[in-house]
């Protein structure tokens, strides 16, 4: 009798699933929707959006779908004249995009144009910014952000783990720890003036070789970041490239490190693209747009780098087959179209199914 009871208990407990685990036969939850868009260059019409909205029309015709997010960029100042002229918050462009159902994303950089080749801009160094060199401008900018009043993504000083921008640690007199202090200082000014409609995007470059500045040294903290982000490219068979790499090879390691740093934050692909040379770009596109919602489930926004840059073949229209592959893949309902003219939540949440 005892043996029978123990046998029954063994069968019972043997069929129970440990708390927090998923049975092998259980179905995966359906993929979550993503915002999608493109960094659209001048090659389509001679000017980039939002300054020329016909360029956005042209890109959407190529893709066969309307974007839900559009990034554009602005430095702090134009120093081609003396004194420098600071760039205001582009409220008009922001409003144009919002009325179209598109969420704007401003890539805002603490530098001047033209940027010196040696990246030496002492007035815009991280230490100078943290000590108030640009406070008057930052405060004025933040007040304009508050006055406009609608949600947008603010991608501040992107690719901060590199060595190619004047806000990178190790160049322009910037020392270890100075990036976090500068970021927090700028963020604090926005908070002080009540410019809470900015959704802060912290966006390092992918680092599969672990040769760039460690991400732990650069993360400002959960209070200061709303979305995390990655920029990464398959450089293919081109100069200074590590060779043809799949989407997973480009992003996997950095994605895992970011999730360890900020496990609850939604992730954005701030710039992603593939070269044509060295492999099949159409296959790369199909694989990437399928893998993102299926295997990189924390990624909730994807922005294709559709710009001719340094003679690289990034745009989807780099070949007929690549354009068709992108147009087919982006039709998945996971990639949401321009349906966000009424978005009002601060910070901007990941999209949900309508």
pTM over 0.75: yes
Q: What is the mean pLDDT of the chain?
A: 93
Determine the average pLDDT of the residues in 243-261: 97
- The model's confidence at residue 194, banded by pLDDT at 50, 70 and 90, is very high
- The model's confidence at residue 95, banded by pLDDT at 50, 70 and 90, is very high
Distance CA 68, CA 53 (A): 14
Smallest CA-to-CA distance from 34 within 339, 307, 275 is with 339
- Cα dihedral angle (238, 240, 243, 246), rounded to 10 degrees? -90
- The model's confidence at residue 29, banded by pLDDT at 50, 70 and 90, is confident
Smallest CA-to-CA distance from 299 within 308, 309, 307, 290 is with 290
- The model's confidence at residue 23, banded by pLDDT at 50, 70 and 90, is low
* Architecture of the domain delimited by 30-329: Alpha-Beta Barrel (3.20)
| pLDDT reported for residue 130 | 98
**Cβ-contact 228, 221 below 8 angstroms:** no
**Whose structure tokens read 């593939």?**
274
| pLDDT reported for residue 31 | 94
Q: Which segments within the chain are labelled E, that is strand?
A: 35-40, 69-78, 85-86, 103-113, 152-156, 198-202, 227-234, 267-274, 299-306
Residue 200 structure tokens = 């802060």
Distances in Å between the Cα of 271 and the Cα atoms of 120, 155, 234, 334 are: 26, 11, 11, 19
What percent of the chain shows pLDDT beyond 90? Answer: 88
In sequence order, what are the residues at sequence separation of 6 or more whose Cβ sits closer than 8 angstroms to the Cβ of residue 77?
84, 85, 86, 87, 112, 113, 124, 137
């Amino acid at each position: 009798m005892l043996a029978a009871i123990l046998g029954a208990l063994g069968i019972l407990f043997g069929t129970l699933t440990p708390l927090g685990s998923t049975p092998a036969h259980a179905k995966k939850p359906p993929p979550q929707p993503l915002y999608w868009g493109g960094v659209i260059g001048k090659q389509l019409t001679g000017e980039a959006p939002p300054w020329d909205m016909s360029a956005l029309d042209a890109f959407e015709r190529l893709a066969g779908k309307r974007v839900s997010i559009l990034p554009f960029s602005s430095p702090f100042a134009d120093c081609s004249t003396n004194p420098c002229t600071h760039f205001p918050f582009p409220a008009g462009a922001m409003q144009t995009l919002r009325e179209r159902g598109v969420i704007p994303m401003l890539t805002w950089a603490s530098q001047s144009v033209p940027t010196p080749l040696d990246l030496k801009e002492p007035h815009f160094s991280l230490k100078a910014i943290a000590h108030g060199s640009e406070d008057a401008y930052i405060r004025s900018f933040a007040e304009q952000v508050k006055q406009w009043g609608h949600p947008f993504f603010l991608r501040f000083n992107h690719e901060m783990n590199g060595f190619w921008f004047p806000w990178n640690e190790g160049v322009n007199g910037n020392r270890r720890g100075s990036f976090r202090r500068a970021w927090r200082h700028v963020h604090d000014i926005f908070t002080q003036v009540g410019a809470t409609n900015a959704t802060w995007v912290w966006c390092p470059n992918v680092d599969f070789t672990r040769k760039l500045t460690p991400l732990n040294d650069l993360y400002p903290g959960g209070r200061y970041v709303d979305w995390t982000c990655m920029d990464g490219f398959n450089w293919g068979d081109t100069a200074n490239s590590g060779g043809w790499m799949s989407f997973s090879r480009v992003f996997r390691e950095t994605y895992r490190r970011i999730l360890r740093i900020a496990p609850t934050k939604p992730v954005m692909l701030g710039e992603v693209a593939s070269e044509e040379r060295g492999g099949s770009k159409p296959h790369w596109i199909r694989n990437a747009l399928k893998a993102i919602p299926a295997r990189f489930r924390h990624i909730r926004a994807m922005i294709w780098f559709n710009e001719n840059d340094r003679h690289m073949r990034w745009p989807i229209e780099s070949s007929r087959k690549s354009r068709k592959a992108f147009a087919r893949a982006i039709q998945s309902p996971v990639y949401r179209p321009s349906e966000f003219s009424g978005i009002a939540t601060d910070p901007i949440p990941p999209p949900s199914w309508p």
